[in-house]
């Protein structure tokens, strides 16, 4: 088992270390061997820093809940002084940092042995991970012709392939939940501001982006969330306080919940029949567990939200490019097509559009809160849907070659048509999760999406844990994982 990190979750591996049955160095050896054997086909793990990891072990690891467990951080954000970053872009290749970000410091304090980064698309924009800076696309260990998703696609591929038992990711429009769905993993997006952004940022994408984790088990996510939750110094706003915490919440099933089930998009369009059936099967499972499941979907203005999201992220992409190039337009050897398109598009927006778009996102959040009605208790506790509108896409379908940034996002064959559910909850700030409950006829994973009212992270993760106990998924593994 030591040579196969995909056979156990991080909690189990940490228990082996604590019992003296395996050493952190042996686990690191196994992870590096898995990188050597599997990563050439996947292109998921980059910027390996074996020396940093060996030094951390030699100097003594923190006695946290994951002491000695190998770990990878996403190559986007998670700034760390010992881990240079490309940030998914040739323009930002080999960035170095003078201090650790708050999120990395908190992850490090759990005792993990971080030894490298995982691939992301340029700018974190997209549902696939195919950045030019890495020399080619990142592929799914379930089927190399398919994408592991994005933007935390490298993290999803590395965990699903058994290179590590869990990994860091981030989610600004589904970037943890999309890879979770595509890779047969658990992915949880907390309530807005539950995790720290500083000191390198005050907020990501007007508060829509937040860190997260790709895990094989709910408990690994719960414990890591507890270790990292809370504002950092000077945070502009904070999430509602937790009650007992995520780990305590999963120790027992939640109260019986009212679940709204939607087997279409939130605007009523049909989705792939295999995906729709996975949603209905999840509804039947929840009914069998005693929850009340009834068809319903929100009436919030999703098209408005999608356009506002597109404009905010377009401006954010242009601002990032401008930080390196000033007012000069990026060239093709510096920035990929979608990034260049975002830069060009941002120049066309009225100077007041950014704040207008932020206002629309806030209005959308209030519309979604009206659907859940948490104060009156009149609405559902949980909204059940698909994570993606179809099974995982093939490599190349969401290539960044196009300069039509708007079409790439909101066009009829764009990202939002493929992933119409996830960004809804980045915009509203609500907690949401993808649970690996479905499988396509061709053997690809299909995620089922669950969302709760703002601040109700504990109810949501407790439900995810109850589902995991009722329909365990850990035994179903990607072919590459053995």
- Residue 3 has a pLDDT of 55
Do residues 117 and 75 touch, judged by C-beta distance below 8 A? yes
Residue 134 confidence (pLDDT) above 80: yes
Residue 7 confidence (pLDDT) above 90: no
Q: pLDDT tens digits, residue range 42-97?
A: 999 999 999 999 999 999 999 999 999 999 999 999 999 999 999 999 999 999 99
Q: What does the alpha-carbon distance between residue 326 and residue 292 come to, in Å, rounded to a whole number?
A: 55
- Residue 2 has a pLDDT of 58
- Residue 402 has a pLDDT of 98
Task: List the strands of the sheet with 166-171, edge to edge.
Answer: 166-171, 210-215, 186-189, 432-439, 445-452, 382-386, 258-261, 292-295
Q: pLDDT tens digits, residue range 135-184?
A: 999 999 999 999 999 999 999 999 999 999 999 999 999 999 999 999 99
Average pLDDT over residues 395-413: 97
**Catalytic choice (74, 89, 189, 385):** 74
Three-state SS for 21?
A: coil
Alpha carbon separation from 335 to 166, 343, 348, 406, 442 (Å, rounded):
30, 10, 19, 17, 35
**Catalytic choice (89, 120, 170, 175):** 175
- Residue 72 has a pLDDT of 98
| Cβ within 8 Å of residue 358, ≥6 positions away | 206, 308, 312
Q: pLDDT tens digits, residue range 316-372?
A: 999 999 999 999 999 999 999 999 999 999 999 999 999 999 999 999 999 999 999
Residue 482 confidence (pLDDT) above 80: no
The pLDDT-based confidence of 376 (bands split at 50, 70, 90) is confident
Do residues 258 and 381 touch, judged by C-beta distance below 8 A? yes
Q: What does the alpha-carbon distance between residue 20 and residue 380 come to, in Å, rounded to a whole number?
A: 47
- Residue 378 has a pLDDT of 86
Residue 253 confidence (pLDDT) above 70: yes
Three-state SS for 35?
A: helix
Angle at 193 between CA 187 and CA 195, to 5 degrees: 60
| Annotated catalytic residue 74 | yes
The rounded percent of the chain whose pLDDT value lies above 90 is: 96
Three-state SS for 382?
A: strand
Q: pLDDT tens digits, residue range 415-469?
A: 999 999 999 999 999 999 999 999 999 999 999 999 999 999 999 999 999 999 9
Q: Give strand pairing partners of 117.
A: 46, 73
| Cβ within 8 Å of residue 465, ≥6 positions away | 218, 219, 222, 249, 250, 253
- In the structure encoding, which two tokens stand for residue 218, read together? 């709910």
Residue 104 confidence (pLDDT) above 70: yes
The pLDDT-based confidence of 4 (bands split at 50, 70, 90) is low
Residue 1 confidence (pLDDT) above 70: no
**Catalytic choice (89, 151, 317, 385):** 151
| Annotated catalytic residue 175 | yes
Domains along the chain?
Answer: 5-300+359-481 (3.90.1300.10)
Alpha carbon separation from 272 to 276, 390, 400, 438 (Å, rounded):
6, 5, 24, 12
- Mean pLDDT for the chain overall: 97
Q: What does the alpha-carbon distance between residue 469 and residue 81 come to, in Å, rounded to a whole number?
A: 39
- Residue 481 has a pLDDT of 87
Do residues 447 and 380 touch, judged by C-beta distance below 8 A? no
Do residues 221 and 10 touch, judged by C-beta distance below 8 A? no
DSSP state of 46: E
């Amino acid at each position: 088992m030591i040579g196969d990190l995909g056979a156990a979750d991080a909690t189990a591996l940490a228990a082996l270390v604590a019992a003296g049955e395996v050493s952190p160095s042996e686990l690191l050896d196994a992870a590096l061997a898995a990188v050597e054997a599997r990563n050439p086909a996947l292109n998921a793990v980059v910027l390996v820093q074996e020396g940093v990891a060996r030094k951390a072990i030699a100097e003594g690891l923190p006695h946290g809940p994951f002491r000695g467990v190998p770990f990878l951080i996403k190559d986007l954000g998670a700034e760390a002084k010992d881990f240079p970053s490309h940030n998914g872009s040739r323009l930002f290749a080999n960035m170095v940092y003078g201090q650790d970000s708050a999120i990395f410091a908190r992850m490090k304090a759990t005792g993990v042995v971080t030894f490298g980064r995982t691939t992301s698309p340029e700018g974190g924009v997209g549902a696939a991970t195919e950045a030019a800076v890495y020399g080619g696309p990142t592929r799914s260990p379930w089927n190399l012709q398919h994408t592991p998703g994005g933007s935390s696609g490298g993290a999803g591929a590395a965990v699903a392939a058994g290179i590590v038992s869990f990994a860091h990711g981030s989610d600004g429009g589904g970037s943890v939940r999309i890879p979770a769905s595509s890779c047969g993993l658990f992915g949880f997006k907390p309530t807005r501001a539950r995790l720290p952004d500083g000191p390198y940022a005050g907020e990501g994408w007007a508060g829509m982006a937040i860190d997260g984790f790709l895990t094989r088990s709910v408990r690994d996510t719960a414990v890591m969330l507890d270790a990292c939750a809370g504002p950092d110094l000077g945070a502009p706003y904070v999430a509602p306080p937790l009650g007992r915490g995520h780990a305590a919440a999963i120790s027992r099933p939640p109260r019986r919940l009212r679940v709204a089930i939607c087997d279409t998009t939130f605007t009523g369009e049909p989705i792939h029949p295999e995906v729709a059936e996975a949603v209905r099967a999840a509804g039947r499972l929840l009914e069998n567990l005693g929850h009340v499941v009834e068809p319903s979907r929100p009436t919030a203005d999703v098209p408005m939200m999608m356009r506002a999201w597109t404009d905010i992220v377009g401006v954010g992409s242009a601002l990032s490019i401008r930080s390196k190039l000033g007012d000069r337009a990026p060239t093709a050897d510096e920035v990929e097509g979608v990034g260049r398109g975002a830069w060009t598009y941002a120049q066309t927006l009225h100077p007041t559009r950014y704040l207008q778009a932020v206002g629309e996102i806030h209005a959308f959040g209030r519309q979604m809160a009206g659907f859940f009605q948490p104060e009156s208790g009149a609405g559902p506790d949980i909204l059940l849907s698909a994570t993606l509108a179809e099974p995982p896409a093939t490599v190349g379908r969401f290539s960044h070659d196009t300069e039509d940034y708007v079409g790439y996002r909101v066009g009829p064959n764009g990202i939002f048509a493929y992933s119409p559910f996830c960004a809804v909850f980045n915009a509203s700030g609500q907690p949401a999760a993808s649970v690996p409950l479905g499988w396509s006829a061709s053997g690809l994973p299909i995620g089922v999406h669950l969302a709760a009212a703002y601040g109700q992270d504990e109810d949501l993760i407790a439900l995810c844990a109850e589902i995991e106990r009722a329909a365990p998924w850990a035994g179903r593994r990607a072919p590459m994982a053995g």
